[in-house]
Structure 1
Amino acid sequence: MATLHSAPRFTVIEGLKDTLATALGDHLVEAHEEHGELLLTVKRSSVEDALRILRDNHEYQQLMEIAGVDYPGRAERFEVVYMLLSVTRNSRIMVKCMAAEDTPVPTATTLWPNAGWLEREVFDMYGVLFAGNTDLRRILTDYGFEGHPFRKDFPLTGYTELRYSEDLKRVVYEPVKLAQDLRQFDFMSPWEGADYVLPGDEKAATPPVAEPKTTEKPADTGAGAKTDAKAADKVADAPAAKDGGKDAPAPEPTETRPARAKRAGKTSGTKAATEPKAKKAPAKKPAAKKPAAKRKPAAKKDEK
């Protein structure tokens, strides 16, 4: 059977349904294949025993996930689904049981330690109780949260809202208030129209101007006598007047850029080719030697 979802590929073991159904015995309520996976429905009171049999006797070593489903129309509205993985067989199965708001489900923390966190999530989102879980408290919602968000009868806007109060200088919780002052719900079809005046439609009832204002004579323009006298004069230097009313021709193309001087060096990417050569400093002339100072003859000592 083709898999219809994007779950990882796994091996479909032939005859696995009959083998596990026989092993679970009285714990099993129903076993069937759905979307290429084996789904086992067990009794709520013996879900821990059924999971232990699957773990110890049939090598389903890992508990991958615990999920909840809500069917408000049922007597036991909740389904608790356990996803198991066999690493040695490369096989995945789902085990589920039914529960109500006041019927706790035996905990799986005695079999897998990670079940504690998963059961807390199902409790937080759906309100399902797990008997034997020593740390059953909310994990995703905030402290003091009311209700369970994944239930079908939970309002989309919730019951409370939080905001920062400038007066109290802290975050406060308040009941949800939906302001509807600017919204009107008439639920009318768009082609029938509304029975009230829509914004902007009030302009349609305004009568048109009886006599439109025209400028039949120069005095009506308000520009003045001098401006009215020059209004009919043509501009002598206008481009259209010079060319006889024709469009000016396109300008001549500009000159091409002169050829660039050849770069120095063998390779264009070298430093010597891309940077100008530094000018050599003029050689310094040797300093002229000063004439040696003449020594004065030492004074002769008096002969004795």
Structure 2
Amino acid sequence: MATLHSAPRFTQIDGLASTLSGALGEHLVETREEHGELLFTVRRGSVEDALRILRDNHGYQQLMEIAGVDYPSRAERFEVVYMLLSLTKNSRIMVKCTASEDTPVPTVTTLWPNAGWLEREVFDMYGVLFDGNTDLRRILTDYGFEGHPFRKDFPLTGYVELRYSEDEKRVVYEPVELAQDLRQFDFMSPWEGADYVLPGDEKANTSPVDDPKVTEKPSDTGAGKDTDKKASAKVSAGAPAEEDAGEDVPAPAPTEDQPDRAKRKGKAKDTSTATEPAKKKSTAKKAAPKRKAQVKKKDDQ
């Protein structure tokens, strides 16, 4: 049996752009279609009013996501994108506005409670301020973190690193410590690659088959009489056992006296009779007279 749903199977955007554009009115800046979805650019100060119209009058009930975009070359470098979903129309649209570092965007927590978390994420990653959000704190980085990681001018390398300190119970900044010796910073773009030769790369052009390693002479391995003499002189030089080797040390006295083993009796040696214990005699012959006496006693009775 087929199940019928009120929402259409496919989103019909024909005519939807003009309908929503007319509903937004003076709040709208631009309308265009991208990747099969409608994108509406509204004025920054009117973003709350525009989203309320779309929610209450056109059935876009859910706020799915708030994302940020950074264009450093623009006067208002940030774009805040709101992604709305209509369950009754099976339709998704995007609404966006522009902002700069010091121009806050009106909060939409009055329309959707989940916007509080989403606005905190955009603030943490991009530094966009939201006017009216009463809990605008960092959500992914530490509270003492400096900068905003998703900005395109955020440095990828530096001289400080951060870690969580158990003593101070917070994240602390410390100078970068590199375990490798003679390590240097490379400020080139990691996507372009370095134009210098790293240590060891010169061996890649030499085939090990063309120049085989041979040890036909002792000098090839470093062995020889001179090397053996030097090795024997350095193996145990200064050891206590070697320093005391010149003195004649008497043997230690016995710790206890043990009696000598008794001599073996008899002439047989290394035979089974000498090493194995003697077998016990059979008691069958001793038990026979007793049985006869008992039988005779029973007969007399």
Asked if TM exceeds 0.5, the reply is yes
Find the counterpart in structure 2 of residue 80 from structure 1. Answer: 80
Residue pair 1:10, 1:92 contacting (<8 A) in 2 also: no
Runs (4+) of structure 1 moved beyond 2 Å? 155-160, 168-172, 178-190, 211-214
Over residues 145-183 of structure 1, what are the superposed CA-to-partner deviations in whole Å (9 max), with x where a residue is unaligned?
111111111123575411557xx6976612342647433
CA contact (8 A) 1:157 1:176 kept: no
Q: Structure 2: how far apart are the matches of 1:171 and 1:111?
A: 35
Cα gap change, 1:172/1:83 in structure 2, threshold over 3 Å: closer, same or farther? closer
Q: Give the structure 2 partner of residue 161 of structure 1.
A: 162
**Could you tell me how far 1:189 is from its partner in structure 2?**
5.2
**Residues in 2 aligned to 1:170 and 1:51: alpha-carbon distance in whole angstroms:** 41
Structure 1 residue 92 displacement after superposition: 0.3
Over the aligned positions, Cα root-mean-square deviation in angstroms equals 3.3
Q: How far did residue 61 of structure 1 move?
A: 0.8
1:70, CA displacement in angstroms?
0.9
- Distance in 2 (CA, whole Å) between partners of 1:90 and 1:151 is 34
Paired with 2:170 and 2:135, the residues of 1 have a C-alpha distance of 27
Structure 2 counterpart of 1:69: 69
Tell me the TM-score normalised to structure 1 length.
0.56
Q: Which residue of 1 aligns with 2:101?
A: 101
Unaligned runs of 5+ in 1: 1-8, 202-207, 215-304
Greater helix proportion: 2
Q: Is the 8 A contact 1:122 1:128 kept in 2?
A: yes
Give the match for residue 50 of structure 1.
50
Q: Which runs of 5+ in 2 are unaligned?
A: 1-8, 189-193, 207-212, 220-301
- Residues 144 and 188 of structure 1: is their aligned pair in 2 closer, same or farther, counting only changes over 3 Å? closer
CA distance 1:178–1:213, shift in 2 (3 Å): closer
Is contact 2:137–2:143 with CA below 8 Å preserved after alignment? no
- 3-state secondary structure, aligned to 1:64: strand
Cα separation, 1, equivalents of 2:151 and 2:35: 25
**Which residue of 1 is the match for residue 176 of structure 2?**
177
Aligned-partner Cα distance in 2 for 1:134–1:171: 24
Q: Could you say what secondary structure the match of 1:81 adopts?
A: strand
| Whole-angstrom distance in 1 between the partners of 2:47 and 2:168 | 50
Note closer, same or farther for the CA distance 1:70–1:188 as it changes in structure 2 (3 Å cut): closer
TM value normalised by structure 2: 0.56
Partner of 1:121: 121
SS of aligned partner of 1:125: helix
Q: How does 1:217-256 map to 2 (within 5 A)?
A: none
Aligned equivalents of 1:163 and 1:135: distance in 2? 24
Map of 1:270 onto structure 2: none
What does residue 132 of structure 2 align with? 132
Give, in whole Å, the separation in 1 of the partners of 2:177 and 2:10: 49
Please state how far the C-alpha of 1:12 moved relative to its aligned partner. 3.0
Residue identity in the other structure for 2:79: E
> SS of the counterpart of 1:46?
helix
Matches of 1:128 and 1:176, distance apart in 2: 29
Superposed displacement of residue 110, structure 1:
1.1
Alpha-carbon contact 2:144-2:171 (below 8 Å) kept: no
**Which residue of structure 2 lines up, in the alignment, with residue 29 of structure 1?**
29
CA contact (8 A) 1:105 1:129 kept: yes
CA distance in 2, matches of 1:133, 1:37: 29
For residues 245-279 of structure 1, the C-alpha deviation after alignment (integer angstroms, 9 at most, x for no partner) is xxxxxxxxxxxxxxxxxxxxxxxxxxxxxxxxxxx
Per-residue CA deviations over 1:41-65 (Å, capped at 9, x if unaligned) read 0010111111011111111111111
Identity rate of aligned residues, in percent? 72
